[in-house]
Structures are given as structure tokens and as C-alpha cells.
Amino acid sequence: MATDKKAVKRPRKKPSARTTTVYAPVELATPERRRTLGGLRVGDLLSIVGAAVAAFALAVILTTQIAPITGGIAFFIVWYLLFVSTYALLVSLDDSRTFVVDRVVAVVITSIATLLFSILIFVITFVIGRGSEALPFVNFYIDDMQSAGPLDPLSVGGVGHAILGSLIQISIALVITIPLGIAAAVYLNEINSRFSRFVRTIVEAMTALPSIVAGLFIFATAILMFGVPKSGIAASLAISVMMLPIMIRSADVVLRLVPQTLKEASIGLGASQWRTAWTVVLPTSRSGLTTSIILATARGIGETSPVLLTSGFTAALNVNPLADPMVSLPLAIFQFVKSPEPSMIARGFGTAAVLMVVVLTLFVVARWVGSMTPERAARGRIRREKIVTSIVSLFATARSAVEARVNATRSKELP
Amino acid sequence: MFDDKPRRLTIIRDTGDKVFRGTIRAGGSVVLIIMVLVGSFLAFRASEALGVVGWSFFTEQAWEPDQGKFGIAAVIVGTILIALVAVCVAVPLALSTSLFITEYAPRQLRSFLVSIVDLMAAIPSVVFGLWGFFFFQPFIVPISKWLAQYFGWIPFLAVDGVDPTDPLATTTVYTSSSFIAGIVVGMMVTPIVTSIMREVFSQTPIGEREAALGLGATRWAMIRNVVLPFGQGGIIGGTMLGLGRALGETITVYMIISPVFTIQPHILQNGGNSVAALIALRYGESTPMGLSALMAAGLALFAMTLAVNFGASIVVARSRSGAAS
């Protein structure tokens, strides 16, 4: 403290040219706001709309009168090319070349991105739309295909067996992969040795393993060598081989994000490595680890090629993973759409819609868990505790009211 | 004077720690054993098949393992063609979309778009296969025809056995081609490529961006001179990862393509093949020889995806932006 005072006092006594004066920050009347770059001016909008309209008119003349072509796609492409060139021309009227390039690139990038997003959304809506024929039937979710022939209407049979099969297979795969995957990821992060670096390299290499090769491996070893029948367990093994590297890799990345200072603080307080991992590293990265597990699950449940080779196909419900073929959602889709019958294809699309809903749900849950910060989690816990205490206090009030009532009647009766 | 040497630290671990380290080490070792087992088993079984046909495995086009006459020349060429088409589709789409998300999209919309892209990466491939087979194929055939008509003089766009100028000719020759399969696979890998590129672009130092803008650069000039050079590693790495995924894709290709066992360099024409589709098609022939032959094909595919993936990770790790990802 003493040295501090000296340092402050000295310049006051002897002001010199070397002194740096620091002013207190100016209080702004309004808080600073981030400026938005870009944005859209009226003129920009007008030239875009104008170019679009002009290009449309030109394209109509070009494709119907001058050089006739057929097909909506061809017309669209001609229109788009004309639109971009008209827009470039419009901008070049009052801006230099640099700005023309900037504007045209902005329009092209925006339209390609829009195209991609609309394709992706279209894929989902197309599958769900074609599947909506099968979706209203309740039997579609609970029945199996045993009693339904290829010519039967959608009111007979369903994919209950595939839904259950998928759930059983992914559960077994998770029982195998979660402990192994998390242990391996913790190992890669906690123990830094030549061997652990080797393991990391091999795991990274294995993320390149095509899923069909994982299926082929299980087919050749478990089924042909060890005589495991084509069954749910074989499919689960194939899914596990495929999921394991994916899960380890993303869990490894998540664990690496745990601040080193937190670990050092824990070690510095005398905690053992095991205590540090259990009470600091894992809780800190809990949401990230959950996300990596859920995303690997989404991959595992949607992949067809490993189960194609290992699970076998059946139309009947089978809940025993150890024997007999067990069908899963992706495999059911694959088999349904092989048939030329419209009702079977509708079933295929319906199954695809169910599978998509499962994957979307998993994904949304993953996002929700992944965005869970400790602060938000704590807030949720406090809210839940409040609800619990209010319910408890409600019960307590009710109980005391009842007791009062009972006591009142008793005291009336007693005398 | 004292010598300022680092002290030797002795770590005495308690029982809990020993058990913990043993457990995780066991987990790591089991994973390693599984992975090495997969690789070495593939190599072992493949070597039986390779021992029979030798080097002709890489030059033979037919696939008749029981006659001892099989090779991956046709399927490897098919695989590479499909993957190249896929990359040609995926890279412009992914590059534009990732730039759109990081540079052009309104700030409020960004995280939403990011989750949409990530969500798309989770869509099962069989769903893309359905879409490709039932919607996209009829949709794209006129374009294939148009390409064949006007660009048929480029060797790989030629189509045999049909006169492209004849308006009444059947269009079935344009279906189930490597071109269509490649585009659908390209759509499928685009989200993955996009999310890698976006990740890298978003790490561009804000100071460099602002410096460029402050010097009077337009947004595109800033992107070209700051964002793209910074994200170079991510662009190449993402592209290669997409290529790796496209090479190993099974179900989409299997659903769309009609398999042939000759080298089919005409991508617009009906028929093609890929290693993964070959395995899905022929695994049922469980004669030991047929299976070893498939193992050899699988091993060749794995070697290819492995090389591509390692190349990608080396490129990403060496680039400026790659240290964090």
C-alpha cells in the first residue's frame, strides 16, 4: 500500500512532460450500440425487384418466342441468369466495378444459400408429405407386417415391430458405447502418454470407417465365425462399432474445452485425479457429453447399412435380441420401397417420417441439453424446488385445515 | 548461489486414483483393441482374396469371386466418379451457405440457420435415398438429357446408344446414373461440409475484418482478402471430409444406381457402381471366397477414406484457423 501512495503522489508534486493523464471515461447519454453493417436501402431493394421483374419478362420472351425451350427448370435457370446480369447492369449505372462485384456476389451467395435451405426443408416436407397417407392409421404404429400382404391397404399392418426393434437395438448399442466411449474419451484427456496419443490417432482413423464396412466386419466375425444368428444383438454390435469412434471423437473435443484452470484449482486444493475428474471435469462438460451421446445416437439409429448386413429381415414382431431376425426403422424403409406396390411405398414413406421424427426429437433434445449452462440449470433447479415447496406447503395447509376440522368435530363430540 | 533446477516431483497416487486410472486405461485399450481388430481382421481376410488374384485385383472389372475372377477396377472408378460429382455439388453449395451464415445473414437469424444445418447433417441417408429416387430422379432427367445433347462431345458426358437430338427417344437411359446418385450424395454431405467451413469462417479474427472494412473494402473484398485466406484450411479440410463421407455412402447410391461391372466413365448414362453398394449387393453370397473378395473391396474403400480423412486433418491442423478445431 505504501508504495502505491508514493506512486500516486509523486507526479502531483513534479508534473513533467512525461506524465500521462488518464481521463475518466466519458459517460454517454445513450448506451453504445453495435452498428449493423450492410442492411438494405430502398434503392437496393428497388433494383433487386426491378431486375427480377425485367429478367422475368425477358425470359418469357426468350423461352417462348426467340429460342423455345420446355420445362420449368430450364425457364428458372434462364430467368436466374438474366436476373443476375440485369442486376449487375442496374448497379453499374451508378456504382463502380468494385461495388458491382460486391452486390452481385451478395445476391449469388444469398440465392445459393436460400436454394440449399429450401432443398433441405423440401426433403423433410416431401418425405413427411408422402408419408402422411400412412400416418393417420393407429395400427401403423402398433402392428407388425405379419398379417399384411403386399396388396393389403394401409389399414392393415404397421411398423410397430420396426419401432420396437430400433429402440432395442439402439439401447443395446448405447449400453455398450456409453461406458466405453466416455471412459476412452476421459482417458485421452486425463492421461497424456505416447499410448494415449496412439489411441487418439487410431480413433480418428476409425471415424473414416464406412458404415457398411462396420456391418461387414460384424457379419464376417460374429455371424459367420462365432455363429451368432442374424439378430438384434448382431445389429447392435455393428451399430456400436460405427458409433464408438464418432462418440469418442466428439466427447474428446468437449472434454478438451474444460478450462485447465478449473482442473488445476481442484488439484491444487489437494483433490486426487479421480476426484477432479468426477467432481470437476465431468460435471463441467456434462451438457457437451450428453450432446455428443445424443448426436451419435441419431447417427446410429438412422444408419441402414450396418443393420442391412447383420439384423436380418422379418415381418413379425421380435423382442428377443438374442435370436431370430429383428427389423429396425431404416431397414424397414429400405425393404418397403423395394416393392412396386403403392401401399408398400406409402408405408415406406410413413416409416421414414417416423424415423425423421425420432431423429429430429433426438436432435432438439441434444440442442436443448447442449445449450444448458450451469446457470440455467441452477435456475431450473430453483424453479423446480419452488414448485415442490409450494406443493408441499399447499399440502401442509390442506392437512392443517383438515386437522383443524377433525379437531373441531372431535371437540364437539367429546363433551 | 543455488542451482535453479526443477525439482523432481514424485506422485503418490491413492487407491482411488489407481483404480480410476486403471479403469479409463482399460476403456481406452478396449476401444483400441476393437478398432485394431476391425482393421487387422479386414486386412487378414482380404489378403486371402488378394493372394488368389494378386495385382489383377486392381485392374479386373468383373466380379465373379467363385470363378476366381474379380477386381475393383469398375467399382473404384464408379465410387470416385460419384464422389467427385458429389463434391462438385457440395462445395459451391456449402461455401456459399457458410459464407451466407457467417457474413450475410441477419444476426438474429444466424444461430437458427446453424441449427438447421446441423440438423440436416443428422438426417438419415435412407431418407435422402427416398427423396432422390422418388422425386429427384424424374426431376433431373431432362437436365441430364440437355447436358448430353449439348455437351455430349465432352467424353465423360457422352451417352451411348441413344440419339440425344431425337425428341421422342426414351429417357430411361438417363436414369440411375452416377450423375444422379452423385448429386443426391452431394446434397447429403453438404451440411457436414457447411458446418466445418462455417466453424472456421466464424473464427476469423474480428480485428482483421474491421481493419479491411476500415480501409474501405466492400464486404466481398473483405471476404476475399480476409475470411477466405484465413479459412483456407477449413475449406480444403471440409471438402476432403465431405469427399470421405461421399466415398463411403451406401444406401443412397444403392437405391438409385443400377449396378454394372464395367468401367462406366459416362456419368450421365444409366448404370454405375460403388464399392459400398457392391458390398450391400453381394454380401449374401457367403462362400468364403466371395466374402474375402468383399473384404478386400471394403479394405480398399477404407484405405481410400482413411487417406482422404488424414489428408483433411493434416490440412486443417496446419492452417492458421485449424489449431482450435
The CATH number of residue A272's host domain is 1.10.3720.10
- Of A76, A110, A131, the position where a domain reaches its end is A131
Alpha carbon of A183: minimum distance to chain B alpha carbons (Å): 5
In the predicted structure, residue A181 carries a pLDDT above the cut 90: yes
Give dist(CA A11, CA B63) in Å, integer: 90
User: Is A123 an interface residue toward B (CB < 8 Å)?
Assistant: yes
Give dist(CA B239, CA B322) in Å, integer: 14
Strands B63-64 and B69-70, sheet pairing? antiparallel
- Mean pLDDT, rounded, of chain A: 84
Q: Which residues of chain A does B126 touch, with a Cβ-Cβ cutoff of 8 Å?
A: 302, 304, 330, 333-334, 352, 355
Structural domain contains residue B1: no
User: Is A128 an interface residue toward B (CB < 8 Å)?
Assistant: no
Q: Which residues of chain B does A207 touch, with a Cβ-Cβ cutoff of 8 Å?
A: 309
Give dist(CA B55, CA B60) in Å, integer: 9
User: Do residue B305 and residue A208 have CB atoms under 8 angstroms apart?
Assistant: yes
Judge residue A354's burial from the number of C-beta atoms within 10 Å of its C-beta, 0-12 exposed, 13-18 middle, 19 or more buried: buried
**Looking at the structure, do residues A269 and A364 belong to the same domain, yes or no?**
yes
User: Do residue B248 and residue A213 have CB atoms under 8 angstroms apart?
Assistant: yes
Taking residues A37-54, what's their average pLDDT?
Answer: 81
Alpha carbon of A78: minimum distance to chain B alpha carbons (Å): 13
Structural domain contains residue A173: yes
Chain B: residue whose CA lies nearest to A370: B115
Q: Which residue has the higher pLDDT, A284 or A32?
A: A284
Give dist(CA A161, CA A223) in Å, integer: 22
In the predicted structure, residue A36 carries a pLDDT above the cut 80: no
Structural domain contains residue A95: yes
List, for chain B, all residue ranges whose pLDDT scores fall below the cut of 50: 323-325
Q: Which residues of chain B does A37 touch, with a Cβ-Cβ cutoff of 8 Å?
A: 213, 219
Over the stretch B223-251, which tens digit does the pLDDT of each residue have? 999 999 988 888 888 898 889 889 988 88
**Percent of the residues in chain A that have a pLDDT greater than 90, as a whole number:** 19
Give dist(CA B122, CA A120) in Å, integer: 12
Alpha carbon of A291: minimum distance to chain B alpha carbons (Å): 12
Give dist(CA A243, CA A209) in Å, integer: 10
Alpha carbon of A55: minimum distance to chain B alpha carbons (Å): 22
pLDDT at A14: 55
pLDDT at B322: 53
- Amino acid, single-letter form, for residue A48: I
> B259 - beta bridge partners?
B272
**Looking at the structure, do residues A166 and A240 belong to the same domain, yes or no?**
yes
Please state the φ and ψ torsions of residue B259, each to the nearest 5 degrees. Answer: -70, 135
CB atoms within 10 A of CB A272: 17
User: Do residue A203 and residue B16 have CB atoms under 8 angstroms apart?
Assistant: no
CB atoms within 10 A of CB A356: 21
Q: Which of A291, A300, A288, A278 is nearest to A174 (CA)?
A: A300
Taking residues A109-117, what's their average pLDDT?
Answer: 92
Residues B185, B188, B189, B191, Cα dihedral to 10°: 160
pLDDT at A244: 92
- Of A376, A391, A406, the position where a domain reaches its end is A376
Structural domain contains residue A287: yes
- Residue ranges making up the domain that contains A55: 43-131
User: Do residue A210 and residue B131 have CB atoms under 8 angstroms apart?
Assistant: no
Structural domain contains residue B239: yes
pLDDT at B223: 93
Chain B: residue whose CA lies nearest to A211: B248
Q: Which residues of chain A does B20 touch, with a Cβ-Cβ cutoff of 8 Å?
A: 272-274, 277
* Res. A13 pLDDT band, cuts 50 70 90: low
CB pairs under 8 A between A and B: 260
Give dist(CA A248, CA A227) in Å, integer: 29
Alpha carbon of B223: minimum distance to chain A alpha carbons (Å): 10
In the predicted structure, residue A2 carries a pLDDT above the cut 70: no
Structural domain contains residue A232: yes
Over the stretch A49-60, which tens digit does the pLDDT of each residue have? 999 999 999 888
Alpha carbon of A248: minimum distance to chain B alpha carbons (Å): 9
User: Do residue B305 and residue A245 have CB atoms under 8 angstroms apart?
Assistant: no
Structural domain contains residue A52: yes
Over the stretch A230-282, which tens digit does the pLDDT of each residue have? 888 999 999 999 999 989 988 988 898 888 899 999 989 988 888 899 889 98
Q: What is the CATH number of the domain that holds B122?
A: 1.10.3720.10
Chain A: residue whose CA lies nearest to B190: A116
> What is the Rg, in whole angstroms, of the alpha carbon atoms belonging to chain A?
33
Of the candidates B38, B104, B218, which has its C-beta nearest A110's C-beta?
B104
Structural domain contains residue B25: no
Most B CBs within 10 Å: which of A34, A206, A249, A358, as the mutation test of the B interface?
A206
Note the ipTM here: 0.84
User: Is A357 an interface residue toward B (CB < 8 Å)?
Assistant: no
**Looking at the structure, do residues A196 and A344 belong to the same domain, yes or no?**
yes
Taking residues A330-345, what's their average pLDDT?
Answer: 86
Please state the φ and ψ torsions of residue B64, each to the nearest 5 degrees. Answer: -130, 80
Structural domain contains residue A13: no
- Residue ranges making up the domain that contains B240: 72-275+299-324
Alpha carbon of B85: minimum distance to chain A alpha carbons (Å): 17
**Looking at the structure, do residues A286 and A214 belong to the same domain, yes or no?**
yes
Q: Which residues of chain B does A183 touch, with a Cβ-Cβ cutoff of 8 Å?
A: 23-24, 26-28
Q: Which of A294, A293, A303 is nearest to A329 (CA)?
A: A303
Give dist(CA B188, CA A12) in Å, integer: 70
Structural domain contains residue A385: no
* Res. A1 pLDDT band, cuts 50 70 90: very low
Interior angle at CA A55, CA A53 and CA A57, nearest 5 = 70
User: Is A176 an interface residue toward B (CB < 8 Å)?
Assistant: no
Spell out the alpha helix ranges (H) of chain B: 15-53, 73-99, 107-121, 125-131, 137-151, 178-201, 206-214, 219-222, 228-248, 251-256, 275-282, 288-318
Alpha carbon of B300: minimum distance to chain A alpha carbons (Å): 11
Q: Which residues of chain B does A272 touch, with a Cβ-Cβ cutoff of 8 Å?
A: 13-14, 16-17, 20
User: Do residue A109 and residue B221 have CB atoms under 8 angstroms apart?
Assistant: no
**Looking at the structure, do residues A87 and A199 belong to the same domain, yes or no?**
no
Over the stretch A278-309, which tens digit does the pLDDT of each residue have? 889 988 888 888 888 888 888 898 888 888 88
Most A CBs within 10 Å: which of B35, B111, B149, as the mutation test of the A interface?
B35
pLDDT at B224: 92
C-beta of residue B135 within 8 angstroms of C-beta of residue A126: yes
pLDDT at A4: 47
Give dist(CA A304, CA B112) in Å, integer: 29
Most A CBs within 10 Å: which of B9, B42, B201, B218, as the mutation test of the A interface?
B218
**Looking at the structure, do residues A188 and A78 belong to the same domain, yes or no?**
no
CB atoms within 10 A of CB A54: 16
Structural domain contains residue B289: no
* Res. A35 pLDDT band, cuts 50 70 90: low
pLDDT at A5: 47
C-beta of residue A210 within 8 angstroms of C-beta of residue B246: no
For residues A220-248, one letter each, b for 16 or more C-beta atoms within 10 angstroms of the residue's C-beta and e for the rest, the string is bbbbeeeebebbbbbbbbbbbbbbbbbbb
Q: How many domains does chain B have?
A: 1
CB contact set of B124 (below 8 Å; sequence gap of 6+): A301, A302, A303, A304, A330, A355, A356, A359
**Looking at the structure, do residues A176 and A292 belong to the same domain, yes or no?**
yes
Q: What is the DSSP letter of B64?
A: E
pLDDT at A3: 45
Most B CBs within 10 Å: which of A224, A305, A339, as the mutation test of the B interface?
A305
**Percent of the residues in chain A that have a pLDDT greater than 70, as a whole number:** 92
Structural domain contains residue B80: yes
Q: How many domains does chain A have?
A: 2
Chain B: residue whose CA lies nearest to A40: B106
Structural domain contains residue A402: no
pLDDT at B286: 64
C-beta of residue B255 within 8 angstroms of C-beta of residue B130: yes
